[in-house]
Chains A and B, each alone.
Chain A
Amino acid sequence: MATTPASIALPGVALPPTRTRPWYLDVWVQMLRRKPLGSAGAVIVVVMLAAAVLADVIVPYGYAQTSLRERFIAMDHAHWLGTDQLGRDLLTRLIYGARVSLYVGFGAVGLGSVLATLVGILSAYFGGRLDLLVQRGVDAWMAFPPLLLLMSIMSLVGPSAWHITLVLGIAFGIQNSRIIRSVALSIKEHTFVESARAAGSGHVRIAMAHILPNVLPTIIVVATTGLSTVILTEASLSFLGLGVPPPYPTWGGMLSLAGLDHMYQAPWLAIWPAVALSLAVFGFNMLGDALRDLLDPRLKGG
């Protein structure tokens, strides 16, 4: 195995004569060809990303712009998805909610992936007493139900978008450092690591140039499949009032503040945030599944 990840070729499928594409572009081409569902997930993710980034440009209303004369409109040409109990446009709030969800999701997963990689590789590479110490710490963390622990921490530090990103990121990092560690452990035993050591490479160089590139596919898979979990957890915490505080719209907060209270007279207030949340989770799961099939050489099929 070279230091770059193995090329993603199906057994029995002839390789194209010129392989000039780098592996990260190749993954997308392969996915379009072989994983229609994963591509659908990617499309959902891209649309959500575009909506979140362009939120200020594409929506005609402000997310906190109230209009008491237009309360509880189900659907009309001015408000495509209706309005809530204060006359705020639901579509506008959904789009801004996507921004929060993606901001927290990507922030937490990015932070968590860096943390998991750092802890996992350190723990696997040095082994011995450090490994034992770190892994018992991870064990202790994993004994607590994650949501219960997150709720306790969030109520301690107080609700804000920055806090929830930080807390979810750390939780994500601790949990997934176990997976990174197990992969790094098996890579550490390969002969190319030994030969690098024999050639005089230092610890940092071996970890960065030889172990990290081989762990990278696993990190990508863990991150994409973890995104949906993080978004769902953020929605749960916001639902309970422990996430991003109210004036800013979040899907979880919209479900509890508008949806739950007015579920019978205005069901669309509960339906549309839930649809958005389900779509986002579905998209990220499909994307993660497809990426796992393509990037993990041990799993073929699906």
Chain B
Amino acid sequence: MSTDAIALPSAEPAARPFVDALHEWVTTVDHKRLGIMYIVYALIFLVIGGIEAMVMRIQLIRPHNDFVSPQVFNRMFTLHGTTMIFFAVMPVLFGFANYLLPLMIGARDMAFPRLNAFSFWLTAFGGLLLYFSLVGANGLYGAGNAPDVGWFAYAPLTSRTFSVGHSTDFWTLSLLVSGFGSIGTAINILTTILCMRCPGMTLGRMPLLAWLNLVMSGMVILAISPLTAAQIMLVLDRYLGGHFFDTQAGGSAVIWMHFFWIFGHPEVYVLVIPAFAFISEIVPVFSRKAIFGYPIMVAATVAIGFISMSVWAHHMFTVGMGANANAFFVFSTLAIAVPTGIKIFNWLATMWGGKILFKTPMLFAIGFLFQFLIAGLTGIMLSAAPFDWQLGNSYFVVAHFHYVIVGGIVFALFGAFYYWFPKMSGKMYSETLGKLHFWLFVIGFHLTFDFMHIPGLLGMPRRIYTYEPGRGWDTWNLIVTIGVFFQALAIAIFVTNLLWSYFKGKDAGSDPWDAWTLEWSTSSPPPAYNFASIPVVRSRRPLWDLKHPNDPDWKYE
């Protein structure tokens, strides 16, 4: 069934010295190379952040453990949170967007290739700046080095009174720098999608992945800006005598919370919408059906984009807002469940009546559906403000947002890795190792994050380096820690699979999944110019039209 729409001569260059190859990668402005660099960079940080998580879990394996000191533990959770959000998940999503968007909308590159390279290097150096704090931030004696203020760095803990030395400055500056990188990429994605689509690809015929990334980029611009502003205010406070957040001089700690969460909650959707995008591509192809309710899916995404801008203070139900303000944020938070639910139902309806093929990407997509459902439901529990007064800042919240980020986003990402790996590398991955990775990760994930809810219900707050015995938390923490090792093993298998398949894998061909979007019409890996001639499309599934000339989509859309 698979068709090589455009057969291209192999453009394999002769082997060159390593320095030349390196120079080519470092100076590249090609969206595919930048995409791959984003992804590799993010994977490295994913492993670093994972190791930090393991240190924390080993410390918490039993009460009064002394594997690490409280100072080290506090640095670990600060680095873990900051790394995973800003230097693992965001870059990997930008990497996929960079790689896939021009291919899926039939363009030869992003709108601003140089801005693209600039943004990547800003993000990359932002991450290095954060970790340079480990050697560069030694302030006063005992003040430590890496930042230890938590990833949301509540004021006034970040003021110079409570955070001596330079560790907080490294945190601030690394987010400032990478924030500009994110804004640059968002502008680039927005412009590319709006201006670079191939002939015939109206907005209503774009792949859902393009639509979702369009919404995501708009949200990045709106959400990162207040974070950047807040970081600048924090630097003013620390070095130029500003008093924005300096409570000892009349500043407001609550204003920082508002600034941070008006970034922080849209950020959750910035991360999860691209994950939705992967699922919206993988589920139809492996169910062999068109996505159910395309216009509703687009509308639901746009609705999520708007509503998510008005829910931030549900992170602040315990800071003493008035009853009416609390009620407003309860309502907006509950409201966002409606478009999110619509998306889940549409994915289910896409599978309904299909012929589902359980390749590794689809396994991860189904894992995503199941776990994201639970994450959404625990989210509803947390949105009921009084329930949040108990659950907020407890291990229940930690379990909830890891369900979103690991059970949802990371599962979708693994699905995306396996789905597009043949396109990016030209090689097919090992299905056996892929399935092994899936099952080990499912077991590890559920051991860790299912059981993590319970100590939260039993009163265990987050960010504590140790806990008292006799509170009924011991067994749960032991199980949670055991799960982490399954996850680590699964990640090791994943990396092995990628490396082994890249060097030894079978050729994948240009369209291994018999898929329908434009990236599968060019060779694997695609040439630098993507398409020999710019494609022309008449429907949402141009390759379906090509493969089914008697029953094309454009007759029904």
**A pairs with B:** no
